[in-house]
Amino acid sequence: MKTVFKRTPTLKDCPTHYCPGCGHGIAHRLIAETIDELGIHDRTIGIAPVGCAVLAYDYLDVDMIEVAHGRAPAVATGMKRTNPDKIIFSYQGDGDLAAIGTAEIIHAAHRAEQITVIFINNAVFGMTGGQMAPTTMLDQVTATTPKGRNPASEGYPLQVSEILALLPGAIYVERCALSSASQVRKAKKAIKHAFELQTNNAKGLSLVELLSACPVYWRMTPAKAMEWIEKEMAKVFPLGRLK
């Protein structure tokens, strides 16, 4: 009898290291489901930079590349240009994409690079101790803003999606949340659309921003963190399609 080896589903069958209430696990599942539903498992290459997002390669059973902090769009650019038949996506947190990697994501969009970007916004640097990120809210307490973020000294939250939506090379930009079952369903639809654009050879960059909880560094229970996303965070980062 001939033995046939089949690829396992994209989401690996293993426990994650993420803290209770963290949105990364949900985001991984949505990406994995999308890859499986579109039948692009063998064509997909993921780019994971520094931060909590870097460990995506432990949970997604596709080819993954670990890159330097913030440089995912640059590496994704090279991968797509040299492998135009592959589906290239980056998976980045706000401390990565919106801080040290700001230039990379803006110029990748400006050049209309044909890649898909999944942007996890939890408003803090999660891996390194909960410091203020570019997306930290005004008055939000972090390790480096113990009295809350003050616009006079730390500036305002950076709205990356709004900035990218202004660029002609960004063909699809949408912001979703991972705060409830209904919001997760909307996020899945957005992620799938972003990948479909690339599979259909649409010319330009697609980005889906996901508002995600970090209960540990928000100093909240997971339930309260989900409420905070919808009641407070979504005021500064409004949900919906921007481009």
Q: Which two tokens stand for residue 8?
A: 């396992």
Report if residue 214 sits inside a domain: yes
Q: What is the CATH number of the domain that holds 212?
A: 3.40.50.970
0.75 exceeded by the pTM? yes
Using CA atoms, how far apart are residues 27 and 30, in angstroms rounded to an integer? 5
Q: Which one, of 157, 175, 158, 213, lies nearest residue 26 by Cα?
A: 213
- Residue at 8 is within a domain: no
pLDDT at 100 over 80: yes
Answer yes or no: is 134 within a domain: yes
Q: What's the rounded Cα separation, in Å, for the pair 7 and 141?
A: 45
pLDDT at residue number 53:
76
For residue 18, being part of any structural domain is answered with no
Tokens (6 digits) for 223: 């339930």
pLDDT band, residue 14 (cuts 50/70/90): confident
Q: Is residue 50 part of a domain?
A: yes
Nearest to 120 by CA among 86, 96, 144, 84: 96
DSSP label of 8: P
Supply the pLDDT for residue 6.
Answer: 55
Is 104 strand, coil or helix? helix
> Looking at residue 57, what is its pLDDT?
87
Does 231 map to a domain? yes
pLDDT in tens, 161-174: 999 999 999 999 99
Nearest to 125 by CA among 136, 135, 133, 137: 133
Asked whether residue 174 is assigned to any structural domain, the reply reads yes
Over residues 120-138, mean pLDDT: 90
User: Is 196 within a domain?
Assistant: yes
**For residue 21, what are its two tokens?**
């209430």
At 28, which helix (H) or strand (E)? Answer: helix 24-38
Contact 19, 53 (CB under 8 A): no
Q: Which of 69, 48, 65 is nearest to 128 (CA)?
A: 69
Q: Which domain holds residue 197?
A: 24-241
Of all residues in the chain, the percent with pLDDT exceeding 90 is: 86
**Number of structural domains the chain divides into:** 1
What is the distance in angstroms between the CA of the first residue and the CA of the last residue of the chain?
A: 53
